[in-house]
Structure 1
Amino acid sequence: LVEAQRVLAPSGSLYLHLDYREVHYAKVLADGIFGRVNFVNEIIWAYDYGARPKRRWPAKHDNILFYAKDAARNRFNIEDIERIPYMAPGLVGPEKAARGKLPTDTWWHTIVSPTGKEKLGYPTQKPLGVLERIVRASSPPGGLVADFVAGSGTTGEAALRHGRRFVLADSSPEAFEVMRRRFAACEGVVFAEGVAG
């Protein structure tokens, strides 16, 4: 986190994805690195898939902590964020209902189906739609997007689809192989295996 904060552009941001077990610890840690004033949002990524425990409420969401390097200079491309339908369109005028609304801080998006065509065989693969929303909201066309715990490389695909450059890193050899397969046919994608500090 310290290094990520250091290399961010002045208008850059960091999205830190965690589950309910770690988010509270990470929030305190990230506040110490970025400063509480640069905490922008907590996004709840809600889904309804997976196991149903019998002794507690099922945990069906993850947390995404959104920090800016400098909240006063933070880039947030409100016009580039896809709009969603109103839940009660009859409560707004027809023009407003047709235009839709900006998503709130709770995002309903299913996880990557274990049998779906998007699945690449990486256990914690994120849905492309979630990463596309983040990339479009917080980076300019042609800008640089980095993911230091890239896993299956979904952030890179989202960046590529929306005209951004990207740098992906992961300490897992399995992740590296999944990313190599994912980007094998993409022109201009360069792999640097085994680079260490």
Structure 2
Amino acid sequence: MSDPLPAAPGGLWTPDGPDLVVHGDNLDVIARLPDGAFRLVYLDPPFNTGRTQSRTTLRTVRSATGDRVGFQGASYETIRGRAFSYDDRFADYWAFLEPRLAEAWRLLDAEGTLYLHLDYREVHYAKVLLDGLFGRDCFLNEIIWAYDYGARSTRRWPAKHDTILVYVKDPSRYHFDSSAVDREPYMAPGLVTPEKAALGKLPTDVWWHTIVSPTGLEKTGYATQKPVGVLRRIVAASSAPGDWVLDFFAGSGTTGAAARELGRRFVLVDSSADAVAVMRERLGDDLRFVSA
């Protein structure tokens, strides 16, 4: 077990302070943050799937008595680590989510953008709700994050995408820098000039990106961890170096990892002690961890 986190002070956060991770109920925490403090809010709330989400970390080590044989006959054993889980069931999902989205609107600055990451079960309700909270003219994009991994169904088309709704605080002055975004290879490079093929194209609103590899270095073992490549694109497009980024369903801390890589500041909030432990291991101790 990690040491208990210090209690958060009344002010909690200042724009000239360090990057911050807060363990606590996110609605209580964000109510203590000042209006218009953040250029970007990314939210990946529970998807209301009606089941418990869980992951168990695994690592493989060399062992003379291991039950697996690898390259040149070396023996390995698999060590099962800590299980991470949360209950993805709500009696009234939108009574839970609506006040948090209203707070997200308050916390965005005049050039700010909200990215709300959901799946097909709830995204249509979210669109109607956000139209009411932000205004229909503040809707910017519906991004489809497509991947090809997981179970296959023979009774319907297998669901292989998430949806990210993008809303801006002010449609006349929001920050968006397409030149900062990673480019993609052309699907038919022979139809464009060699110079264009070498440069690649700007992404559209359909993003093909693999999930976090179960055996990759990025994997933390935390349930529903999102790939840093997806967050890197969001942070690069909708904030500038030095801007503050907020994620109050922070989970494994991917938003913080992308923000740090790109020179942004961040506040991460999660009610799970497991999530905070993962973020501490992933992001290090050179930021502030508090309990609210």
Task: Point out the structure with max Rg over C-alpha.
Answer: 2
* Residue of structure 2 aligned with 1:31, choices 124, 131, 134: 131
* 1:13 match: 113
Distance in 1 between the 2:194 and 2:213 partners?
A: 35
- What residue number does 2:43 align with? none
Worse overlay, 90-99 or 61-70: 90-99
Please state how far the C-alpha of 1:164 moved relative to its aligned partner: 0.3
Deviation at 1:94? 2.0
Give distance in 2, aligned partners of 1:47 and 1:93: 28
SS of residue matched to 2:144: strand
1:107 paired residue among 207, 231, 236: 207
Runs of at least 4 residues off by over 3 Å = none
Aligned to 1:119: 219
Structure 2 counterparts to residues 66-77 of structure 1, below 5 A: 66-77=166-177
Decide which moves more: 113-122 or 129-138.
113-122
Give the TM-score, by structure 2 length.
0.64
Deviation at 1:104, TM superposition (A): 0.7
Structure 1 residue 113, shift from structure 2 partner: 1.9
Shift of 1:99: 1.8
User: Distance between the aligned counterparts of 2:128 and 2:271, measured in 1?
Assistant: 24
Deviation string 1:99-144 (CA, Å, 9 cap, x unpaired) is: 2110011111111122222110111100010000000000001111
CA shift at 1:89, angstroms?
1.3
Q: Which among 146, 149, 153 is matched to residue 249 of structure 2? A: 149
Alignment size in residue pairs: 192
Counterpart of 1:192 in structure 2: which amino acid?
Answer: V
Q: State the Cα RMSD in Å.
A: 1.0
State the partner residue of 2:181: 81
Cα displacement (A) at 1:53: 2.0
Letter in 2 for 1:43: I
Tell me if 1:45 matches 2:141: no
SS in 1 for 2:129: helix
Shift of 1:83: 1.2
Task: List per-residue Cα deviations over 1:10-42 (Å, max 9, x = no partner).
Answer: 101010000111111111111111111001000
CA deviation vs aligned residue, 1:52-88 (integer Å, no higher than 9, x gap): 1232111000000011111111111111011111111
| Larger RCO of the pair (alpha carbons < 8 Å, separation 6+) | 2
Partner of 2:233: 133
- Confirm or deny that 1:190 pairs with 2:288: yes
> What SS does the corresponding residue of 2:288 show, helix, strand or coil?
coil
Specify the SS of the correspondent of 1:52. Answer: coil
* Residue equivalent to 1:174: 274
**Paired letter, 1:191:** F
Tell me the amino acid that sits aligned with residue 271 of structure 2: S
| Cα deviation 1:138-169 (Å, max 9, x = unaligned) | 00011111111111000000000000000011
- Quick check: 1:54 aligned with 2:54? no
Give the structure with the higher percent helix.
1
Letter in 1 for 2:132: G
| Amino acid paired to 2:289 | F
1:14 and 1:132 mapped to 2: Cα distance? 15
5+ unaligned residues in a row in structure 1: which ranges? none
SS in 1 for 2:182: coil
Structure 2 gap ranges (5+): 1-100
Q: State the Cα distance separating 1:172 from its structure 2 match.
A: 2.0
Question: How many angstroms apart in 2 are the aligned matches of 1:38 and 1:63?
Answer: 17
